[in-house]
């Protein structure tokens, strides 16, 4: 089958986006792995498949697959690319778009200068929601890795995150410790790992080791998770700029029970076609 696709990125976190509204498209694990290969395929962090909604109150549904073929619940950078894609392809003319995802409904608002604000829903700090094998408490959780204890804030923003506050951001720490926490036995579904350096109450530097992918240039859900973790611990203000390797995201959270609002750019790189 000849597959038409659009290559996009949100702050360097890159995606292949496929229109499954106009034409039915199905992928298996081996096809996704081949397409994601940066030497033999197209190359991407995630594959986004745009589908018709199953709920008549929604405008679209979309599915998100990691480069290893695993399906995930949510992706903030992908959501922004999704919004630009459906507008560019004239699948909709709405500026406020309601979308079904694996984790539930989200709302996307396209604003000036090509920026998109995503209502990411309310976060959860309940360990079972990640899931994370620990008793519920009101603070930080110790996690032992290779005999050392690390303090993490576990948070679900539709997908699972473990946030660590660090003094400096080091390659070895992100790559090695990130990989070990991602597959730690306390996270039976694995976990995304965020390394957060607090610059001041309104700014953080952040690197994220994503489950099933590795470190990416930017992670929208990771930025949301880090900011709400920092607000919960009293380190951050309600509005924060997260500096990621690929650029900046602006995160707002008013507190318990309130949705996270994430604003950032999305860009098209090129369109193409490839045989599956």
Which of 14-36 are b and which e, b meaning 16 or more Cβ less than 10 Å from the residue's Cβ?
Answer: bbbbbbbbeeebebeeebbeebb
258 is in an annotated binding site: no
103 is in an annotated binding site: no
38 is in an annotated binding site: no
In angstroms, the CA 231 to CA 226 distance is 9
- Check if 219 is active-site: yes
210 is in an annotated binding site: yes
| End-to-end Cα spacing for the chain | 5
In angstroms, the CA 184 to CA 83 distance is 34
Output the DSSP codes for 78-106: HHHHHHHHHHHTTS---SEEEEEETTEEE
Check 81, 186, 219, 224 and give the catalytic one: 219
211 is in an annotated binding site: yes
- Computed over its alpha carbons, how large is the radius of gyration of the chain? 18
Q: Are strands 104-110 and 71-72 parallel, antiparallel or unpaired?
A: unpaired
168 is in an annotated binding site: no
77 is in an annotated binding site: yes
113 is in an annotated binding site: no
200 is in an annotated binding site: no
Output the DSSP codes for 2-56: EEEEEEEEETTEEEEEEE-SSS-----HHHHHHHH-TTTS---SEEEEEE--SST
Check 75, 81, 186, 224 and give the catalytic one: 75
In angstroms, the CA 248 to CA 206 distance is 10
**Which residue numbers are catalytic?**
75, 219
Annotated binding site for substrate: 13, 46, 66, 76-77, 159, 192, 210-211, 220-221
Annotated binding site: 13, 46, 66, 76-77, 159, 192, 210-211, 220-221
């Amino acid at each position: 089958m000849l597959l038409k696709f659009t290559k996009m990125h949100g702050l360097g976190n890159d995606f292949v986006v496929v229109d499954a509204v106009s034409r039915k498209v199905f992928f298996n694990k081996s096809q996704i792995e081949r397409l994601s290969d940066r030497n033999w395929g197209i190359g991407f962090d995630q594959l986004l498949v745009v589908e018709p909604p199953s709920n008549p109150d929604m405008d679209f549904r979309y599915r998100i697959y990691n480069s290893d073929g695993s399906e995930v619940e949510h992706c903030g950078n992908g959501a922004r690319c999704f919004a630009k894609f459906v507008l560019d392809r004239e699948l909709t003319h709405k500026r406020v778009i309601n979308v079904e995802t694996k984790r539930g409904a989200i709302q996307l608002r396209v604003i000036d200068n090509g920026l998109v604000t995503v209502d990411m829903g309310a976060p959860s700090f309940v360990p079972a929601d990640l899931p994370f094998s620990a008793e519920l408490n009101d603070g930080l959780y110790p996690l032992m890795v290779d005999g050392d204890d690390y303090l993490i804030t576990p948070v679900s923003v539709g997908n699972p995150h473990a946030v660590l506050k660090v003094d400096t951001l080091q390659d070895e720490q992100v790559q090695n410790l990130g990989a070990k926490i991602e597959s730690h036995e306390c996270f039976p579904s694995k976990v995304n790992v965020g390394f957060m350096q607090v610059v001041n109450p309104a700014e953080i530097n952040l690197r994220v080791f994503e489950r099933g992918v590795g470190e990416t240039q930017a992670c929208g859900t990771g930025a949301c998770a880090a900011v709400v973790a920092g607000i919960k611990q009293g380190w951050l203000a309600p509005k924060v700029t997260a500096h990621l390797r690929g650029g900046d995201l602006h995160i707002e959270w008013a507190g318990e029970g309130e949705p996270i609002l994430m604003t950032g750019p999305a860009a098209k790189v090129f369109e193409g076609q490839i045989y599956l």
